[in-house]
């Protein structure tokens, strides 16, 4: 029981000593030399929340490196006015001078409370005197006075890694290449479409085209000049193009045997196949040998070709 009361008495004594010590420290701070906070530079007009206010304390003893690290602490930590201010920094400002930068945090008629100045050894050097400052609301709403516009701050430089620039440039080049490729392909397609539209469409049937081509051959002139090879080649080509268009296979460069195989697959009758084979044998003999036909034989070659065309054309 005695030990418990002893512990309680020790605790009460410690708390009493702490309070007395705190009160004695505050009385000690009040006995420190008091200095005015003087404006280092003219304050902005009006003063708004967050403005940097610079003051100077002149006359503090800064010998023996006391100003290497200076700190401001409120004289009365329980003073509510201290919460309205933010101490940004305290720095030496020449011989026996301290620069103090503060910023108001709330609007209104504020009291800058008394602060105690501590040196680098945590020794109290002096205290500041309270100061009255009128702070306006920088976020004034309707019905409140508008503040003059603030000067714009210069843009902050952004350090972008070089690899980002390289990748960004490569992406831009890639997009340009794709866009150019698609544009040129579209342009070529449009040109092809225009050219196709310009080409006249021949509505004649294959047999009509072949017969008209044969009729345009100057047969008598070529026979008179003895140009039989030219005549027989022209008749052969006209027939091959006709058969290719009529039966839908590539006959223009086919040999006689290849042509006949293609015609057999087209289900032509044996008589027409034999007649066609006989005509091409005559054409090939003149085309690929030195054989010269009689004029009478040459004069009926076109008639023989037209007869085969009429036998194999589509019935209308």
Q: Worst-scoring range by mean pLDDT, 84-88, 246-250, 269-273, 294-298?
A: 84-88
Establish whether the linkage from the previous residue to 46 is cis, with ω within 30° of 0: yes
275 contacts 250 by C-beta, under 8 angstroms = no
Q: Is residue 63 part of a domain?
A: yes
CA end-to-end span of the chain, whole Å?
A: 135
- Domain end, chosen from 118, 136, 154, is at 136
Long-range pairs of 78-82 with CB within 8 A, sequence gap ≥ 24:
79/113, 81/110, 81/111, 81/112, 81/113, 82/113
In a shared domain, residues 29 and 111: yes
Q: Is residue 194 part of a domain?
A: no
Angle (CA) 134-79-74 rounded to 5° is 90
DSSP string, 192-233: HHHHHHHSPP--S-HHHHHHHHHHTS-HHHHHHHT-HHHHHH
Q: How confident is the model at residue 140 (pLDDT cuts 50, 70, 90)?
A: low
- Domain end, chosen from 119, 136, 153, is at 136
Q: Is residue 84 part of a domain?
A: yes
CATH assignment at residue 93: 2.60.40.10
120-156 as b/e, with b when 16 or more CB fall inside 10 Å?
eeeebbbbbeebebebbeeeeeeeeeeeeeeeeeeee
Phi, psi of 138 (to 5 degrees): -75, -10
Q: Is residue 30 part of a domain?
A: yes
Is residue 267 predicted with pLDDT exceeding 60?
yes
How far is 76 from 209, CA to CA, in rounded Å? 116
Q: What domain count does the chain have? A: 2
Q: Is residue 275 part of a domain?
A: yes
Q: Is residue 221 part of a domain?
A: yes
Is residue 159 predicted with pLDDT exceeding 80?
no
Better-predicted residue by pLDDT, 115 or 244: 244
Range of the domain at 281: 206-312
In a shared domain, residues 132 and 225: no
Q: Is residue 164 part of a domain?
A: no
Token output for 202: 């021949």
Q: What is the pLDDT of residue 150?
A: 60
Q: How confident is the model at residue 197 (pLDDT cuts 50, 70, 90)?
A: low
Mean pLDDT along residues 101-130? 81
In a shared domain, residues 32 and 131: yes
In a shared domain, residues 217 and 302: yes
In a shared domain, residues 122 and 31: yes
CATH assignment at residue 228: 1.20.120
pLDDT digits (tens, 9 = 90+) for 75-107: 677 777 778 888 877 878 777 777 888 888 888
Is residue 297 predicted with pLDDT exceeding 80?
yes
Which of 106-115, 192-201, 278-287 is modeled with the greatest confidence? 278-287
How far is 263 from 256, CA to CA, in rounded Å? 11
Say how many C-beta atoms besides its own lie within 10 A of residue 191's C-beta: 10
Mean pLDDT along residues 309-314? 92
- Domain end, chosen from 96, 120, 136, is at 136
Q: What is the pLDDT of residue 242?
A: 94
In a shared domain, residues 123 and 225: no
Tell me the percentage of the chain whose pLDDT exceeds 70.
Answer: 79
Q: What is the pLDDT of residue 148?
A: 57
In a shared domain, residues 20 and 124: yes
Q: What is the pLDDT of residue 270?
A: 93
Q: Is residue 70 part of a domain?
A: yes
Mean pLDDT along residues 148-153? 60
């Amino acid at each position: 029981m005695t030990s418990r009361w002893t512990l309680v008495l020790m605790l009460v004594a410690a708390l009493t000593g702490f309070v007395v010590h705190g009160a004695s420290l505050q009385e000690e701070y009040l006995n420190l030399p008091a200095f005015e906070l003087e404006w280092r530079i003219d304050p902005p007009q009006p003063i708004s929340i967050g403005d940097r206010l610079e003051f100077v304390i002149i006359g503090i003893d800064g010998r023996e490196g006391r100003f290497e690290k200076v700190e401001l602490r409120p004289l009365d930590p329980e003073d509510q006015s201290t919460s309205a201010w933010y101490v940004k920094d305290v720095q030496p400002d020449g011989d026996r001078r301290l620069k103090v930068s503060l910023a108001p945090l709330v609007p209104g008629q504020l009291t800058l409370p008394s602060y105690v100045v501590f040196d680098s050894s945590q020794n109290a050097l002096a205290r500041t005197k309270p100061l009255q400052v009128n702070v306006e609301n920088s976020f004034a709403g309707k019905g409140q006075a508008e503040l003059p516009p603030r000067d714009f701050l210069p843009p902050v430089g952004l350090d972008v890694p070089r690899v980002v620039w390289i990748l960004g440039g490569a992406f831009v080049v890639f997009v340009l290449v794709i866009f150019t490729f698609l544009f040129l392909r579209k342009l070529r397609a449009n040109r092809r479409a225009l050219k196709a539209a310009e080409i006249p469409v021949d509505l004649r049937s294959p047999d009509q085209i072949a017969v008209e081509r044969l009729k345009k051959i100057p047969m008598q002139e070529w026979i008179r000049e003895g140009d039989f090879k030219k005549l027989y080649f022209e008749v052969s080509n006209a027939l091959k193009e006709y058969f290719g268009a009529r039966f839908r296979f590539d006959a223009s460069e086919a040999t006689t045997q290849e042509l006949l195989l293609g015609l057999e697959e087209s289900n032509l009758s044996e008589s027409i196949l034999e007649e066609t084979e006989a005509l091409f044998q005559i054409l090939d003999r003149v085309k690929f040998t030195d054989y010269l036909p009689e004029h009478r034989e040459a004069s009926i070659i076109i008639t023989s070709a037209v007869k085969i065309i009429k036998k194999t054309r589509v019935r209308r």
